[in-house]
Amino acid sequence: LDLSRKDVCDAIIKMVSEVLSSAPITYVKWDMNRHMTEVGSASLPPERQRETAHRYMLGLYRILEELTSAFPHVLFESCSGGGGRFDPGMLYYMPQTWTSDNTDAVARLKIQYGTSMVYPAITMGSHVSVIPNHQMNRITPLEMRGNVAMSGNLGYELDVSKLSDSEKKKIKEQINTYKQIRHLIQFGDFYRLLSPFESSEAAWMFVSADKSEAFVTYFNVLAEPNRTYGKLRLDGLDPDRVYEVSGTGCCYGGDELMYSGIGIPEFYGDMQSVDWRLIAKDR
């Protein structure tokens, strides 16, 4: 559609508004899997064809301005895969973006780590998808897929009716965990601990502004023989407070966790992950 034309924009605003008014809709995925090529407009003369792309974006912004103003209760999510736009211009209207059409958990480590260099986790759409993965044909454990997806706005893109009872139970546990830590993911301070671009390991953590709680995730993509016992150094904690690892009863000083680290469990097999939730306690 030629969004550089006012009549086209008017028609889109009218049609979308009618749909949004027809039901109690609260979420819209704005996706268009087509890059702009051979850009031109029948409404402009030959000497002004180079204006089309710019006028197209102005038309799109006008559509989004009117729709988001008329329906402030609707969460609009844009898409970097469909439309190629993960930028401040779209985030002004749509505070959440589908980070990539590649939902493979291993690939997403680099995708989400790299995206975090510019944009906060609250803007990233990150879902658990079916295996074998549609893009990579890779099979990854549900545990790892969940931990990767919980590092952004968690969702699930799979046929629930085809899940086993154990998978359904695990997903319920993941959702319950995410509800407990969602405020950390969306509004906490983000710390990158291990880069997936440098080895087969990756790790990051989220810390509340008052440093009273944190959520840490560690990933190991490829297993190694005779792996030595390792520790993961954390960041952003209060060195003068004690943190309890939720569900274990174990307590460590914030200084110890940052300068010595937390013990990484032994893993057997590829694509393993573990998470820790830390709650501050008085010494």
Question: pLDDT tens digits, residue range 180-199?
Answer: 999 999 999 999 999 999 99
- Catalytic-labelled residue, pool 2, 7, 10, 101: 101
Q: Catalytic: 31? A: yes
Where are the chain's structural domains?
1-98, 190-281
pTM: 0.91
What per-residue confidence (pLDDT) applies to 32? Answer: 73
The residues, ordered by sequence, that sit 6+ positions from 35 with a Cβ below 8 Å of its Cβ are 84
Contacts of 228 (CB under 8 A, 6+ apart): none
Please tell me the predicted confidence (pLDDT) of residue 34: 67
CATH class of domain segment(s) 190-281:
mainly beta
Instruction: Give catalytic status of residue 101 as yes or no.
Output: yes
Torsion of Cα atoms, 143 then 147 then 150 then 156, to 10°: -30
The pLDDT tens digits of the residues spanning 89-142 come to: 899 999 999 998 899 999 999 999 999 999 999 999 999 999 999 999 999 999
Residue 167: phi, psi to the nearest 5? -70, -40
Q: Which of 31, 189, 255, 270 is catalytic?
A: 31
Cα→Cα distances 53→3, 91, 105, 143, 182, Å: 9, 19, 35, 43, 38
DSSP-derived 3-state class of residue 85: coil
Residue-averaged pLDDT of the chain: 93
